[in-house]
Amino acid sequence: MSNFVVPNRIFDPEAECMPSGERVKMQIAGLRRTVEQAKKIPFYRRKFDKSGIAPESIKSLEDLQQLPFTTKQDLRDAYPFGFFAVPRAELARLHASSGTTGKPTFVGYTQKDLEIWSGLCARFLVAGGLTADQIVQVSFGYGLFTGGFGLHSGIERVGASVLPASSGNTQRQIMLLEDVKIDTLICTPSYALNLAENITAMGKKGKLALRYAHLGGEPWTEEMRLGIEEELGIRAFNNYGLSEIIGPGVSGECAVRCGMHIQEDQFMVECLNPETLEPVADGEQGELVITSLNKEACPIIRYRTRDLAYLDSSPCECGRTTKRMSRIRGRSDDMMIIRGVNVFPTQIEEALLRVDGTAPHFMIELTRPGNLDEAAIKVEIRPQDFSDKMEAMHKMRDRIGREVTAITGLHFNIELVEPNTLERFTGKAKRVFDNRKLND
Amino acid sequence: MPIKQLSLFVENRPGSLSAVCNVLKDNNLSIRTLSLADTQQFGILRLLLAEYEQARTVLEKAGFIVKVTDVLALEVPDRPGGLADILTILDKHQLSVEYMYAFTFGVADKAVIVFRFEDPHFAIEALQNEPIKLVKASELFR
Ligand SMILES: [Zn+2]
């Protein structure tokens, strides 16, 4: 049942199937526009002044390589609105991504930005089977996170109906899927697996009307896709995006499913060696570095996503002329995505510092015993942490757990371990042991 | 006169207790008694032995975290109500027990219970006029 053929439909043929020569001209114009708009942001203005960059400096796509990089830290340093290029009054919406030390990173959208964004979401939704007569359940959280509202507007743009279920309460999610006869589901891949397992356990396997799922927000594997499609009898599509760029909609799969088509009329996606920052060849893994071409509120130049993937410029059977990118195959930094939430080891360190002023040795271990991520922190006991009273030890362990949850918003199992039992590394400590097997 | 007790942090995994015992064995140190308070993931091992200072040194050298704590060893008559009588006296003086463990030694009709009080010296004073025998280290480790 999950092998049915998905019709090849294209939401915006003009943009998605544009002849490449024409697209290059558009991209050059987009880069100039972005440099012009980015001048309103002090960070970029300083960099442009220093290296004498002006919109007219962009004469070919290769000139992109003269432009400065932007890192997550640059965005953080400019908290809250240092990367906004329009006055407050012109903002139509704000979203935020999770921060490392409690402060989020804000992103803003003008009305025009929102229209472009909903169109980008509409493109991958239609590519993956969405039609105007369907009802779509959005089980992404609605809120600061870009996923919920981004997909919501994309569905409306296609003309389909939205059921904004938001995240959580699995039993109720399944009731809605069944009673509303939902056609398409939007959530994270691990939550889709979790739903599938519960649906099977409730004896409802094969009894739902569900046909499609659009999954994103965390890396997943082909094996997970097979499991989800098999259990639910659906076709599941992958899409990619990040709030710093726009949210979901940077790329998404077509019916052929041989990589995610990059929306190249809106973004330039480079694939670079994360060490040398030189471009890597098609098919070779590198870090995705993204530049926006049309954004007004938050134009962004050469943003280092830290996501590792590879690019594919070969023609696709679907008729789109855009480049495709592979699934995300890892990170070039130590960020973890746990149950869809971004977590950095430095956040765990900060939580441990709050407990005692100096952080003990620790290690983070990620597993996925069923379909949901489990996260544990092993903390080495030091003489000053140790008490002969069990109650005091429990108190300390619980305090660590509370501080970690306060900073990350996630529950971690805290394990106290004997001194010198965690591996020591010369140079940069390896803090994270991810045993979820995302790249097989 | 408090007794010196060693407390060690041990993980709840195969081999963690034998690692401690092997260090003591290699240094020819013998344990008088021990008690283990454990949870699913870790435990606190409490040891009484004569050469506690030497034991502490070799255990710390072996990488263990060791804490020396004053505990009181109270002699309990080995008869029904023996412990109840003692606990009644402790209650009378509002001495709250952090933890305790029992063992028998030498004398046939006597048991020893080790008590960990928040303030052992206050406990010694409170109990000095009570019909309770505090076992001295010299008796315990003879
Ligand atoms: Zn395609």
Cβ contacts of B69 on chain A, cutoff 8 Å: 388
pLDDT of res. A219: 82
- CATH at residue B14: 3.30.2130.10
ipTM for the whole complex: 0.90
Query: Is the model's pLDDT at A440 over the cut of 60?
Result: no
Partner B contacted by A376 (CB < 8 A):
no
DSSP state of B134: B
B59 and B30 in a common domain: yes
Which of A287, A284, A327 lies closest to A303, judged by CA?
A: A287
Residue B91: which domain range?
70-140
Please give the Cα distance from A349 to A8 (Å, whole number).
Answer: 48
pLDDT of res. A346: 82
> How far is the centre of ligand 1, averaged over its atoms, from the C-alpha of A257 (Å)?
7
Please give the Cα distance from A105 to A48 (Å, whole number).
Answer: 23
B42: which strand partners? Answer: B11
Distance of CA A285 to the CA centre of its chain: 18
Helices of type H across A6-91: 13-16, 20-38, 42-51, 72-77
* Two structure tokens written together for B37: 């308070």
Identify which has the larger pLDDT, A360 or A38: A38
State whether A381 and B116 contact (CB < 8 Å): no
Under 8 Å CB-to-CB from A164, ≥6 apart: which residues? A138, A142, A148, A152
Partner B contacted by A388 (CB < 8 A):
yes
Q: Which of B4, B47, B65 to mutate to test the interface with A (most CBs of A within 10 A)?
A: B65
Query: Is the model's pLDDT at A436 over the cut of 90?
Result: no
Please give the Cα distance from A103 to A88 (Å, whole number).
Answer: 20
B44 and B9 in a common domain: yes
Partner B contacted by A281 (CB < 8 A):
no
Q: How far is B127 from chain A (nearest CA, A)?
A: 23
Q: For residue range A294-314, what is the model confidence (pLDDT) as tens digits? A: 999 999 999 999 999 999 999
pLDDT of res. A218: 84
List of E strands, A34-130: 93-97, 105-109
Categorize the per-residue pLDDT at A271 as very low, low, confident or very high, splitting at 50, 70 and 90.
Answer: very high
Which of A302, A322, A163, A303 lies closest to A253, judged by CA?
A: A322
pLDDT of res. A333: 87
Q: For residue range B1-21, what is the model confidence (pLDDT) as tens digits? A: 899 999 999 999 999 999 999
**H-helix or E-strand spanning residue B23:** helix B16-26
B48 and B104 in a common domain: no
Residue extents of the structural domains in chain A:
13-19+103-331, 336-439
At the second CATH level, the architecture of A13-19+103-331 is 3-Layer(aba) Sandwich (3.40)
SS3 A295: coil
Name the residue of chain A whose CA is nearest to B63's CA. Answer: A419
Cβ contacts of B118 on chain A, cutoff 8 Å: none
SS3 B2: coil
* Two structure tokens written together for A278: 């030189």
SS3 A378: strand
B77 and B50 in a common domain: no
B74 and B113 in a common domain: yes
Q: Are strands A362-367 and A432-434 parallel, antiparallel or unpaired?
A: parallel
SS3 B117: strand
* Two structure tokens written together for A108: 């803003």
Cβ contacts of B16 on chain A, cutoff 8 Å: 418
Please give the Cα distance from A292 to A302 (Å, whole number).
Answer: 8
Please give the Cα distance from A380 to A382 (Å, whole number).
Answer: 6
Categorize the per-residue pLDDT at A2 as very low, low, confident or very high, splitting at 50, 70 and 90.
Answer: low
- The 10 Å Cβ neighbour count of residue B93 is 13
Which of A327, A188, A322 lies closest to A259, judged by CA?
A: A327
Which of B82, B101, B93, B91 lies closest to B124, judged by CA?
A: B93
B80 and B20 in a common domain: no
Residue with tokens 């963690």: B16
Please give the Cα distance from A435 to B88 (Å, whole number).
Answer: 54
* Two structure tokens written together for A139: 């089980």
Domain boundary among B35, B69, B103: B69
SS3 A376: strand
From chain A residues 391-410, the ones with a CB under 8 A of any chain B CB are 393-394
B32 and B11 in a common domain: yes
DSSP string over B28-96:
T---SEEEEEE-SSEEEEEEE-TTHHHHHHHHHHTT--EEEEEEEEEEEESSTTHHHHHHHHHHHTT--
Please give the Cα distance from B35 to A383 (Å, whole number).
Answer: 20
Partner A contacted by B65 (CB < 8 A):
yes
Query: Is the model's pLDDT at B108 over the cut of 90?
Result: no
Partner B contacted by A389 (CB < 8 A):
yes
Q: How far is B9 from chain A (nearest CA, A)?
A: 7
B109 and B78 in a common domain: yes
Domains contained in chain B, number:
2
* Two structure tokens written together for A177: 């899927």
Cβ contacts of B67 on chain A, cutoff 8 Å: 383, 386-388
User: What average pLDDT does range A387-394 have in this prediction?
Assistant: 95
Domain boundary among B52, B69, B86: B69
B36: which strand partners? Answer: B45
> Residue B44: which of A383, A390, A421 has the nearest Cβ?
A390
Please give the Cα distance from A381 to A321 (Å, whole number).
Answer: 57
Query: Is the model's pLDDT at A3 over the cut of 90?
Result: no
Name the residue of chain A whose CA is nearest to B9's CA. Answer: A418
Partner A contacted by B26 (CB < 8 A):
no
Cβ contacts of B65 on chain A, cutoff 8 Å: 381-383, 386, 418-419
Instruction: Tell me which of 3.30.300.30, 3.40.50.300, 3.90.650.10, 1.10.3720.10 is the CATH number of domain A336-439.
Output: 3.30.300.30
Cβ contacts of B99 on chain A, cutoff 8 Å: 389-390
